[in-house]
Each structure stands twice: as structure tokens, then as C-alpha cells.
Amino acid sequence: MERGVETVIFATRWLLLPFLAGLGVAILAYLLSFGGEVAHLVLDIFTISKSDALMSMLKLVDSVLVASLVIMVIIAGYESMISKLDVDAERHGISWLGKLDAGSLKIKVATSIVAISSIHLLQAFMDVDQISNDKLMWLVIIHLTFVVSSVLLAVLDRLIAKH
């Protein structure tokens, strides 16, 4: 009986697959949004200011960071919880595949969030005339919270690795 229960518990890891697939569908939807932003930039490039063009490019960079983060979570989630991917990681130039544990993934997610937050903060600073001081202060506080959290995660991960 114990073996049967353990088999069922172990098989529940496959319940993550719909969540990971849902992230895949979400990133496809996000790709459409990204394409719309690229089209908007290209079609309006001669009529918008350099500042607006820069803001559009920052939105594109932000989208790439978010998409990369989601792909990283999909791949690492599948590899760490469901099954190893049967791909030649070296040939595809993704040598990190198979080496990303939960601690490393948390640090990568945290640093991605810091990078995304940095872009949002830069966008706010570029539009500083339109943003209240209170909102700007909260954006800085939130960003600093992300920075401190990611540093603490890295320190904790290093401490855990030493033991």
C-alpha cells in the first residue's frame, strides 16, 4: 500500500504540465503584444519624437526580459519537477540546461525582476513631469526592495551552498 501511495504522490508532478503549458500559451499571447509594439514603432518612426521612440524600445526590451523569464521558468520547472529534457544543450548553446536548481532559478528570477523594474523606473524618470513625486518615490522604494531582496537571495544561496 505504501508503495502505491508513493507512486501516486510521485506521479502528481505531472500536474504541473498544464501550468507550464499555460505559460507557453501566455507567452504566445505576449508575442502578439510585442509584435503590435514593434509594428507601432516601425509605422510611426518618422512621426514620433526620439523620446517616444526610446520609450517604445524600452517597452520592447521589457517584453524580451519578461518573455525570457517565462521561458526560463517553463524549462527549469519542467526539468526540475517533471522530467529531464532530452536535448543536446551544448549543440543548442544552452549549457545552463540541467544545471539550474531551485536556488539558481530564484536568483535568476529575482535579477530579471530587478532588470524589469529598472526599465519601468527609467520610463518613469523619462516622463517625470507627468508623474507625482509620491508615485515616483514609491516606484523607487519598490525597485530598491527588489534589489535588496535579490541580493539577500544571492547571499542566502551562497550560505546554503557552503553548508
Q: Name the more confident of 92 and 14.
A: 14
Q: Cα separation of 53 and 61, whole Å?
A: 12
The pLDDT of residue 35 is 96
Give the model confidence (pLDDT) of 102-157 as tens digits. 777 788 888 888 988 998 898 888 888 888 889 999 999 999 999 999 999 888 88
Give the model confidence (pLDDT) of 32-86 as tens digits. 999 999 999 999 999 998 888 888 998 899 899 889 889 888 988 888 888 877 7
Angle between helices 50-77 and 102-126 (to 10 degrees): 170
Q: Cα separation of 104 and 94, whole Å?
A: 15
Q: Are 118 and 142 in contact (CB under 8 A)?
A: no
Question: Among all chains, which residue has been given the C-alpha cell 514620433?
Answer: 48
The pLDDT of residue 1 is 87
- Helix, strand, coil share of the chain (percent; to 5): 85, 0, 15
Mean pLDDT, rounded, of the chain: 87
Q: What letter does residue 78 receive in the DSSP assignment?
A: I
Q: Cα separation of 67 and 35, whole Å?
A: 13
C-alpha triplet 23, 27, 32: angle, nearest 5°: 150
